[in-house]
Chain A
Amino acid sequence: MNYKHIKQFALLAALILAAIASYFSGSINPYYLQVILFIGINITLATSLNLINGYTGQFSLGHAGFMAIGAYASAYLSTEHSAGVFNALGGASAFSIPVVFASVLLAGGIVAAVAGLIVGVPSLRLKGDYLAIVTLGFGEIIRVLIQNTDAVGGPRGYSGIAGYTTLFWTYAVAALTIYVVVSMVDSTYGRGFLTVRDDEIAAEAIGINTTRYKVTAFVLGAFFAGVAGGLYAHTTTYINPSGFDFQLSIQIVIMVILGGMGSTAGVAFAAVLLTLLLEYLRFVAGYEWLPDLVRRIAANRMIIFSLVLIALMLLRPQGLFGALPRMASSGRKPPKPEPGPTISPS
Chain B
Amino acid sequence: MVYGILRFINFAHGDVFMLGAFCGYYLTPRILPYFTGALAPLGVAVVLFATMAICALIGMLIERLAYRPLRRMPKLTVLITAIGVSLFLEYAGQFVFGADPKAFPELVADRALENTGALTITTTQVAAFAVTLLLLVGLTFVVKRTKLGMAMRALSNNPTAATLMGVNIDTVISFTFGLGSALAGAAGILYALSYPSIDPLMGVLPGIKAFVAAVLGGIGNIPGAAVGGLILGIVETFVAGSAYSTYRDAIAFAILIIILLFKPAGLFGKVQVEKV
Contact = CB atoms under 8 A, between A and B. Distances in A.
Interface in A98-130: 121-123, 125-126, 128-130
Contacts of B247: 144, 148
A341 B86 CA distance: 22
Interface in B232-262: 246-247, 249-250, 252-254, 256-257, 260-261
A126 B256 CA distance: 12
B84 A313 contact: yes
A122 B257 contact: yes
Interface string A271-283: 0000000000000
Contact of B91 (A121, A141, A145, A306): A306
A326 B261 CA distance: 37
Contacts of A122: 257, 260-261, 264
A137 B252 contact: yes
A117 to B, nearest CB: 13
A305 B79 contact: no
A310 B81 contact: yes
A302 B204 CA distance: 15
A81 interface: no
Contact of A300 (B75, B95, B246, B256): B95
A155 B165 CA distance: 59
Interface residues of B, number: 46
A340 to B, nearest CB: 9
The DSSP consensus for interface residues of chain B is helix
A28 B94 CA distance: 38
Contact of B250 (A130, A133, A141, A346): A141
Given A125-B260, A314-B66, A133 B212 contact: yes
A123, A141, A202, most chain B CB atoms within 10 A: A141
Q: Give the size range of A's interface with the partner.
A: 35 or more
Given A144-B250, A306-B85, A346-B69, A313 B80 contact: yes
Given A310-B81, A313-B80, A346-B72, A144 B276 contact: no
Nearest to A53: B76
A59 interface: yes
Contacts of B74: 341
Interface string A218-262: 000000000000000000000000000000001001000100000
Contact of A132 (B71, B79, B88, B219): B79
B95 A250 contact: no
A301 B275 CA distance: 42
Contacts of A126: 215, 260, 264
Contact of B83 (A300, A303, A309): A309
A250 B87 contact: yes
B87 to A, nearest CB: 4
A302 B260 CA distance: 32
Contact of A123 (B9, B71, B95, B260): B260
A344 interface: yes
Given A122-B264, A302-B90, A309-B81, 12 more contacts: A133-B9, A133-B211, A134-B260, A141-B250, A144-B246, A145-B250, A300-B94, A310-B81, A314-B66, A317-B73, A341-B77, A346-B71
28 contacts: A122-B260, A122-B261, A125-B264, A126-B264, A128-B75, A128-B79, A129-B8, A129-B9, A130-B211, A130-B215, A130-B219, A133-B9, A133-B208, A133-B212, A136-B208, A138-B257, A140-B253, A141-B253, A144-B246, A144-B250, A296-B95, A302-B90, A306-B84, A310-B66, A313-B77, A313-B80, A313-B81, A341-B77
